[in-house]
């Protein structure tokens, strides 16, 4: 069978452009209205997307006065969306830094049952300093400790989901036996960060475990992904760097004894789409003109762990020396590397950099016709840069509608994308096996 693209819809604010919430083409619904998210999920399901994805952060952004950056807690929201959709996968972000494995395993296990096997977990190691203060800490947990804690967290969660054998539930009313106790086992985990007896207090979900998604691209993040991730969201600004990342991660996964096709790599793509290239570029410019440079400056500071950029003039060319060494940053290290690399390559002024990042925070942005967007997707897919894309429409729902109506049919005509769902679970859509247990 010919290799097929995978498409995930990343839902954030009223679109991924920083100024989307102000644009007249974006949704008028409140960002706390669940119908906004249900509607977008149904539109993506009409387009046969593999999944939708909700990000999360555990603190209020300091840009809230001039940027729409609040949203619903993702696990709760996806439980509500599950009943309004039938096939599309549902991926929620949840932190290993500020959660407990038993609670999180229960939540995702419940969501997998509720959705009929469509859930995925985007595993994050939280890096925001304000989030640390919301959970009793005075500052950031170091980059290395976050991943060390995350490694143990994932191992515990896996063990909890596997603590029930697939045949543990009998539900035999006549005999009076609900479950086979010998097929339900404690995990008795005692580690550096967690002590968890188990077993989980619910049966295995339809998928066995949620699909594991990860987004870190630092060296530590890549090795974590190679061990655990089944889909990887990554920010790549050029096809060449995307190809390098793709080849490296597939090699690392193989070194962990995993089939490379079981680690799907989905770069972020934020396209402005219109009937002509001129119109698409005009729309992109309209969005950029709605941005507030000081909102962008604050977000840039957050990316670099709170570094102060207030002294930098907006219209003076930047150099890498204007930024902290990414290797010393305890926040989102991979994204800081992308930003410094962009400055080194393009020699942007601060105003130009902030306008560029306003589009999708360091993911690939472009503007063009449906045919041009389809050409770009096919080129990256065929040239070893992607297994599909994490679609980040700059305006919602208008750019999603344009993609579904105009780009998806081109990809289908070229034999690159499904014309119907062939399975019912997220693992089916991604072509992933259902994991067994030691008791199976």
User: Could you read off the pLDDT of 184-230 as tens digits, one per residue?
Assistant: 999 999 999 999 999 999 999 999 999 999 997 788 889 999 999 99
pLDDT tier at 65, thresholds 50, 70, 90:
confident
Structural domains in the chain plus CATH codes: 6-162+204-281+362-430 (3.20.20.30)
Confidence label for 338 from pLDDT (cuts 50, 70 and 90): confident
Of 397, 408, 404, residue with least CA distance to 39: 397
pLDDT of residue 332: 59
Indicate whether 116 pLDDT > 90: yes
| Tens-digit pLDDT profile for residues 31-64 | 999 999 999 999 999 999 999 999 998 888 877 8
- In this prediction, residue 140 has a pLDDT band, given cuts at 50, 70 and 90, of low
Least confident of 88-92, 123-127, 233-237, 304-308: 304-308
Note the pTM of the prediction, 2 decimals. 0.89
User: Average of pLDDT values for 394-401?
Assistant: 97
């Amino acid at each position: 069978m010919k290799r097929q693209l995978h498409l995930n819809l990343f839902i954030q604010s009223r679109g991924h452009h920083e100024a989307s919430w102000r644009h007249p083409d974006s949704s008028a619904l409140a960002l706390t209205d669940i119908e906004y998210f249900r509607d977008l999920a149904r539109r993506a399901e009409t387009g046969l997307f593999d999944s939708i994805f909700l990000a999360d952060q555990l603190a209020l952004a300091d840009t809230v006065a001039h940027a729409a950056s609040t949203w619903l807690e993702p696990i709760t929201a996806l439980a509500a969306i599950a009943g309004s959709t039938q096939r599309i996968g549902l991926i929620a972000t949840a932190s290993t830094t500020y959660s407990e494995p038993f609670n999180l395993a229960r939540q995702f296990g419940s969501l997998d049952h509720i959705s009929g096997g469509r859930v995925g977990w985007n595993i994050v190691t939280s890096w925001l300093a304000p989030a640390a203060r919301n959970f009793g800490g005075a500052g950031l947990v170091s980059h290395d400790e976050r991943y060390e804690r995350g490694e143990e967290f994932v191992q515990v969660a896996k063990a909890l989901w596997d603590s029930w054998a697939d045949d543990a539930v009998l539900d035999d009313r006549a005999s009076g036996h609900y479950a086979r106790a010998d097929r339900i086992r404690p995990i008795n985990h005692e580690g550096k960060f967690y002590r968890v007896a188990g077993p989980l207090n619910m049966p295995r979900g339809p998928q066995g475990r949620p699909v594991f998604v990860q987004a870190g691209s630092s060296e530590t993040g890549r090795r974590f992904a190679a061990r655990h991730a089944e889909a990887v969201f990554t920010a790549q600004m050029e096809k060449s760097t995307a190809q390098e990342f793709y080849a490296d991660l597939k090699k690392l996964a193989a070194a962990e004894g995993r089939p490379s096709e079981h680690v799907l790599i989905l770069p972020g793509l934020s396209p402005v789409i219109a009937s002509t290239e001129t119109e698409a570029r005009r729309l992109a410019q309209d969005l950029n003109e709605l941005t507030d440079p000081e909102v962008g400056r604050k977000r840039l500071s957050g990316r670099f762990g709170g570094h102060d950029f207030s002294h930098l003039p907006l219209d003076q060319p930047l150099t890498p020396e204007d930024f902290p060494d990414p290797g010393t940053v305890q926040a989102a290290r991979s994204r800081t590397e992308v930003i410094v690399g962009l400055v080194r390559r393009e020699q942007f002024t601060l105003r130009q950099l902030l306008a560029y990042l306003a589009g999708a925070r360091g993911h690939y942005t472009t503007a063009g016709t449906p045919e041009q967007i389809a050409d770009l997707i096919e080129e990256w897919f065929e040239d070893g840069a992607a297994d599909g894309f994490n679609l980040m429409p700059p305006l919602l729902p208008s750019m999603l509608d344009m993609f579904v109506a105009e780009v998806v049919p081109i990809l289908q005509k070229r034999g690159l994308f499904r014309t119907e769902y062939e399975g019912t679970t997220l693992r089916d859509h991604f072509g992933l096996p259902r994991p067994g247990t030691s008791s199976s």
